[in-house]
């Protein structure tokens, strides 16, 4: 068993100054809020695993004491602006108790308030849950997708401009989409939810994982988006937001590379359909993974952006095509209907 924890004193001198500044400000803020009666609140994220082990992901934030109940809104959906997801304060070095399959484990939050831990638990295939509690926080249930060992097919999907139209890499538009735009104003890429549902039906028990460079702060909004647009439920594999211990900003590309390598180790018998778009770096990342783990790739499906969308996404229209391997099936189309047809022709989608 392993857990995320605070940076040890012995490595303090190597921590990037941006991280030291962030930690110092957070320590002061956390101390003052706790003195005012603020306490921890556990935010569970969907995890995954297989019989014998599960990966549990959660975050602990501070909240005010006895929050006053808000009157019900008359609108059908509550509008949520993106900036609200980034204004919470994480609780560092806070104990979280994980209970699953009659076993009990303890972990401590890292400098971002996160726990990302793999623990022993013999849960049956399908959907299960782990109970998270500790440090005075109310207990919560974390959903867990337990993959059947007999499953040989899975889906790893990008989010931005693959299932959700965002044009994220353009700085001003990214800031607007992330911090200002009402989450209900985000549009789904045409045909993608139908494609994923068809794939999930054709491959019973296949896990669907959503791999994005987005921050965990927006996980609740992304979960609601996927549910609202009828995408199959599955774990979100996001990244932390802010400076790291060795750099000003986190590398989204390295996050995707490391996650794919981890999935290959955790599920060596599963062949993944990798779905992305040609507006960022998905083609390059998927090509690298397919070259290193050819037996773990069922195919690569790329959502091809229009010239206008490509211009918004990275500044210049990109030529179509990818540096693909002869051993890997590469497909590209502008929407879910086109990819569905190509996947059917390739035999991946019956």
Instruction: Say if residues 244 and 16 touch (Cβ distance below 8 Å).
Output: yes
Within the chain, residue ranges assigned H as helices are 17-35, 171-175, 192-202, 219-228, 252-266, 282-292, 307-314, 336-345
Measured CA to CA, the distance from residue 109 to residue 206 in angstroms comes to 31
Terminal Cα-to-Cα distance of the chain (whole angstroms) = 40
Answer yes or no: is pLDDT of 9 > 90. no
> Per-residue pLDDT tens for 253-279?
899 999 999 999 999 999 999 999 988
Average pLDDT over residues 225-237: 96
Measured CA to CA, the distance from residue 334 to residue 306 in angstroms comes to 7
Instruction: Say if residues 41 and 34 touch (Cβ distance below 8 Å).
Output: no
Name the CA radius of gyration of the chain, rounded.
21
Average pLDDT over residues 59-80: 60
Q: Which of 77-81, 130-134, 156-160, 315-319 has the lowest mean pLDDT?
A: 315-319
> Per-residue pLDDT tens for 282-318?
999 999 999 999 999 999 999 998 655 554 555 444 4
CA atoms within 13 A on the CB side of 71: 3
Going by C-alpha positions, the residue among 248, 150, 257 that lies closest to residue 207 is 150
- Domains located in the chain, CATH noted: 9-146 (2.60.40.10), 153-345 (3.40.50.1000)
Greatest C-alpha distance within the chain: 63
- The total of other beta-carbon atoms located within 10 Å of residue 307's CB is 10
- The total of other beta-carbon atoms located within 10 Å of residue 276's CB is 26
Identify the pLDDT of residue 27.
63
Going by C-alpha positions, the residue among 148, 111, 112 that lies closest to residue 128 is 148
Identify the pLDDT of residue 12.
43
Cα 121 from chain centroid?
22
Phi/psi for 139 (5° steps) reads -65, 145
Identify the pLDDT of residue 193.
97
Q: How confident is the model at residue 19 (pLDDT cuts 50, 70, 90)?
A: low
Residue 332 token pair: 């590209």
Average pLDDT over residues 70-74: 47
Q: Which residues of 7-28 are buried (b: 16+ CB within 10 A; e: fewer)?
A: beeeeeeebeebbeebbeebee
Q: At a CB cut-off of 8 Å and minimum separation 6, what does 222 contact?
A: 159, 164, 210, 212, 214, 236, 238
Identify the pLDDT of residue 310.
54
Q: How confident is the model at residue 165 (pLDDT cuts 50, 70, 90)?
A: confident
Phi/psi for 146 (5° steps) reads -95, 120
Q: At a CB cut-off of 8 Å and minimum separation 6, what does 287 contact?
A: 300, 322, 323, 324, 325
- The total of other beta-carbon atoms located within 10 Å of residue 227's CB is 11
């Amino acid at each position: 068993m392993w857990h995320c924890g605070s940076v040890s004193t012995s490595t303090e001198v190597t921590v990037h100054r941006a991280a030291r500044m962030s930690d110092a400000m957070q320590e002061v803020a956390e101390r003052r809020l706790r003195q005012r009666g603020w306490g921890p609140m556990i935010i569970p994220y969907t995890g995954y695993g297989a019989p014998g082990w599960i990966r549990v992901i959660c975050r602990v934030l501070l909240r005010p004491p006895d929050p006053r109940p808000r009157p019900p809104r008359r609108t059908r959906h509550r509008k949520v602006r993106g900036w609200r997801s980034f204004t919470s304060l994480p609780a560092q070095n806070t104990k979280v108790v994980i209970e699953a399959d009659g076993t009990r484990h303890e972990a401590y939050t890292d400098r971002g308030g996160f726990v990302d831990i793999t623990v022993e638990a013999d849960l049956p295939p399908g959907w299960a849950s782990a109970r998270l509690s500790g440090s005075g926080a109310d207990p919560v249930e974390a959903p867990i997708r337990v993959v059947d060992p007999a499953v040989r097919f899975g889906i790893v999907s990008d989010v931005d401009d693959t299932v959700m139209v965002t044009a994220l890499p353009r700085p001003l538009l990214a800031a607007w989409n992330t911090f200002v735009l009402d989450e209900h104003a985000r549009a789904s890429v045409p045909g993608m939810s139908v494609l994923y549902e068809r794939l999930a039906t054709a491959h019973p028990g296949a896990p669907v994982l959503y791999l994005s460079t987005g921050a965990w702060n927006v996980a609740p909004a992304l979960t609601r988006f996927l549910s609202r647009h009828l995408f199959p439920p599955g774990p979100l594999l996001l990244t932390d937001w802010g400076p790291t211990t060795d750099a000003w900003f986190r590398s989204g590309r390295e996050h995707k590379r490391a996650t794919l390598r981890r999935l290959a180790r955790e599920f060596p018998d599963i062949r993944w359909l990798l779905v992305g778009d040609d507006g960022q770096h998905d083609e390059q990342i998927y090509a690298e993974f397919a070259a290193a783990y050819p037996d773990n790739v069922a195919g690569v499906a790329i959502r091809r952006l229009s010239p206008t969308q490509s211009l918004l996404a990275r500044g210049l229209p990109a030529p179509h095509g990818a540096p693909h391997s002869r051993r890997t099936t590469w497909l590209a189309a502008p929407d879910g209907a086109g990819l569905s047809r190509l996947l059917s022709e390739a035999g991946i989608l019956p």
